[in-house]
Structure 1
Amino acid sequence: MPTIQVNGVNLYYEWHGPAGAPVVLLVNGVLMSTASWSFQTPVLSRRYRLLLHDCRGQGQSEHPAGPYSMYQHAADLVGLMEALQIEQAHVAGISYGGEIALLTAIHWP
């Protein structure tokens, strides 16, 4: 189970799909995990390189003392991209993850 240090926290992540394909980051909702994407992953990974991760305090990522904020989760997403050397990606999310995706697009276009 790979983790990577981002903004002082170990974040769990998974890659799915062919290397070299366009990268799509899928962001979970509150109290969800990468398992939230179990139905979409097999289909989307045929055409895209999917990056799934658990936000800080959720799933298999580290659970440091809070409080947490949407901005912190967006900064973690950008930090994850930097740590994994992802220069460009499409970002999508469900529920709270959709809000993180929007905030990321606003502050880090």
Structure 2
Amino acid sequence: MKVSDLVRELGLTVFCGEAGLAVEISGGYTSDLLSDVMGHMEEGMLWITMQTHQNILAVATLKDAAAVLIVNGAVPDEETLAKGKEEDVPLLGTTLSAFEANGRIYQLLHKA
């Protein structure tokens, strides 16, 4: 599934990184602890978090994440958006909780 498919299926907000919407999602990782994400997330995964500060972009870039999904209706600040545009990392948003987003995304990625 491409990032754009996920955006369409779940009605996600695209804050920035539109050029990366054609990237294939290889899986997902959910964590709000940056060191945990750096140690365990694999390339091409969708990262689900409630964090909105610009350090998420450094980690997403380092791990070559397909996109970052910010949950609970949180919105990144202007510095984060500017950095996301500069790095061309898709930053997405949803009002869903991390639990609900994970369940829906898992179902979409594992359709028979």
TM-score category by the smaller chain? 0.3 to 0.5
> Which protein has the bigger helix share?
2
Going by fraction, where is strand more abundant, 1 or 2? 1
